[in-house]
Amino acid sequence: MQAAQEVRVGIAGFGAIGKAIARRLDAGIPGLRLAALGVRDAEKARAAHAFATPPVYTDIDHLAEHCDVVVECAPAALLPRIATPVLKAGKKLMVLSSGALLMNEDLVEVARAHGGQIVVATGALLGLDAVTAAAEGTINEVRMVSRKPPIGFAGAPYVVKNGIDLDAIKTPTRIYTGTAREAATGFPANLNVAVSLSLAGVGPDRTILEIWADPTISRNIHRIEVDSEEAKLSMEIQNVPSENPKTGRITALSAVAALRKMAAPLRIGT
C-alpha cells in the first residue's frame, strides 16, 4: 500500500506564533512539510530564521498556490484576504484569529461552495472536545472568565474607547462583562479563545464572558463553566504568554498538534 503524501503547510504571518510553528515544522514532523511563508518582507523573514529546508517566500495572496493547508497567524483584519484564495482553491485554512470569523461569516459559505474547510484550532483553551460533544445534546449555559496581566490588553479597541488606564490598575479589575460576539470586536487580539468556545457550544450571542486585568498574575488564565443536560464542565487553564503578551505559548503548540493530526495514522480527540 502506498504511503500517504506529505501535507504541504503554509504559514500566513511570521510573528511570534508563526515563527514558533515554522520552527517546529522545520525541525521535522512526519507527514508534514513547511512549504511556504506568506510575509510582507521576504528578506526580513529570511534573516529572522535560517531554515534547514528553506520554504518558498511569497505574499499572503499567493500562499495557497504552494500549500495544501494554510495556518493563519496574521492580524485579524487580514483574515478575508488570507482565507479567500485558500478556500476558493478547495484547501484547508487553520484559523487562529477565530474572533475575525464573526465579522467574516461569509467565509463559511465560500468554503462550502468550493470544497474548502476552515479549521479552528483549540488555541489557548481547553475542553473544546467536551464542549462540542455537549453541544450535540442540550447546553443551558456557557460562561468564561479570562484574566491577563494589564499589558496583555494594551491597544484593545474596547480599552481605548473607554479610556481605561491599564498602568493605573494595581489590583484585579473587571474591565468587561458581555457576550463573546461583543468581546471579539472590543478585544480582537485577546479573546479568540472566547469565540472558539462559543463556536463549539451555544454561539457567540449566548456565551457570557468576563474579562479581568490582573497585575498580580504573570499568566493568562481562562476558566470555563458549562451547564448542559448531559454533563457539567468546569475547566481552568493557565497559559504562559509568548513573546507577544496577548497570546499564550500554547497557541502555537495547539496549531502544531492540529497539523500533526492531519497527517497522523492515529488521531486522538474529536
Q: Report the catalytic residues.
A: 222
Say which residues have a Cβ less than 8 Å from residue 76's Cβ, sequence separation at least 6: 97, 99, 100, 188, 189
Q: Determine the residue type at 39.
A: V
- Look-up of cell digits 445534546: 137
Is residue 8 helix, strand or coil? strand
Say which residues have a Cβ less than 8 Å from residue 202's Cβ, sequence separation at least 6: 135, 139, 141, 142
CB 92 within 8 A of CB 69: yes
Q: Are strands 173-179 and 207-213 parallel, antiparallel or unpaired?
A: antiparallel
